[in-house]
Chains A and B, each alone.
Chain A
Amino acid sequence: MIEAKALRKTFNKGKVVAVDEVSFSARDGQITGLLGPNGAGKTTTLRMLYTLLKPDSGGIQVDGIDPANEPLKIKRALGVVPDSRGLYDRLTARENIRYYGRLHGLGRATIDKRIDEFVRVLDMSEFIDRKTDGFSQGQRVKVAIARALIHDPRTVLLDEPSNGLDVMTTRALREFLRQLKAQGRCVVLSTHIMQEVAALCDRIVIIAHGRVAAEGTADELLARSGEKTLEDAFVKLIGSDEGLLA
């Protein structure tokens, strides 16, 4: 469960407003999509959620934990797959995942058991013991996901998870995210791809120019805009088709 209230973040001493008055909530057992064109402030918003950036003003609560007060506790509650996968090329996939498990303070047995689970669920048996140098995008994303979820977090944040993935891998990824939702987790993903939101998300938060343009289920957004397709609704709600057609 995530509650974001009036988040604001500026760069260059206030000259560039990246995120302005962004409020939304994401519930457990649902997939919430942050939808917006490139540069709308999605990544900045996520970075504030996973505490790498401090908001200038506004507040965040994850399962009732305030990152300003308990930054380490909130990091334990979150599983994050950032935009940059950042695997270590000289380590094998298993070693990459194990490293994060140890950083979370997990015991060896727990880590090994969890890795075995991910190998099965994410179909990683072929490459789990290979060095990640030369991995395909799909393999990298799988390792990054396993690495981010090694500590079994209740809340999962993913920044552009399907970037650079082929159709099959994207399908597998969506299936996996639905499983996370079915397990009652709170899943938040950011994307600029309309189809992804339509296929996956229970709730949609449309972000444009650093602000929340609209929030609700797909049907609610259609009703509010009076358009027939989600794409048209999106264009109408953000006020332009900038960045969409890319």
Chain B
Amino acid sequence: MTEPPFISFKNIVKEFPNGTRAVDNVSLDIGNNEFFALLGPSGCGKTTLLRMLSGLEIPTSGAIWLGGQDITDWPAQQRPLNMVFQSYAVFPHMSVGDNVAYGLKIEGCPQAERKARVEQALAQVQLADKIDRMPHQLSGGQRQRVALARALILRPKVLLLDEPLSALDKRLREDMQLGLIHLRNEVGITFIMVTHDQEEAMSMASRLAVMDKGRIAQIGTPKQLYEYPGSRFVADFLGSINFFPGKVVSTEGKTVTVDTDVGRFINEADFAATAGQSVTVGVRPEMLDLDDATPDVNRLEGTAQETAYFGDYNLCLVRLANGQSIKVFVENDSEGRARLPQIGQAVKISWSATCGILLPD
């Protein structure tokens, strides 16, 4: 056997006094030095799971292990992990320096060392010149970096981030995504992030767990989850996707032929499909081509219903003969511009057998 996982949730259940089961029998291992994301819609239990790791909630049953120790009953104060709160929770009556020094002060760290470490922690988040400012004089992004420095200064084994970017505007969010990845590489500890934003989770995390209704739907790398989702929920939650429910007609190795309402499709399956089985064919909008040139498999015809311009790409809504509307992304390059249909125009859509996702029902 290899050594036990760094962080381990074992059959965690959390029931609140009002009877809701926020976390329903979750088991999850997280390795050392991972950037792990818990992703899911609001109310899926991801924040509750994070708070149980931090010690701010106590699980109803189950155990939490960290670095080979059972920490289930440890109070939040003793756990070697620190949290960056969604609202940042920067103490409003303390200066930036005092905020960052607070944890060290409680530890009883001598003043000279404290001062040096505060300066170092603030330099790490590019706030060295703001040490004497009060929180209300800072922008949202700066306040968040104060919260980061305040947590990292205690040299935790794990940094917990609760929706770290949700309160920032789009531009700042992109900067901060790269900033957090850089920071994690620099300090070399485990980061665990909770988010409802799939782009955020995929771009930052090395591995992520998608949660739904208190359970884990799937765990994997962003690429695994996006390209090989195990369920309709995961496929739908990560990115956009078009679904065509149908039945397996025949299988030949990995290649599966499926009959659906809108036609016969050929797809590769990563599970053993049997003839007659109910399945769903999923195709992401960027995999669809508005082109006649592709091979004669997986074709659809319809009329362009609406288009929306996003700058780098166009979203085209195509209405099929059975009334279903599907999404097609058309890149805004020279070819894409020429292909973009007018509203009401008849269009032909195709995709190759390796680009679709076959999901068992």
Interaction A to B = no
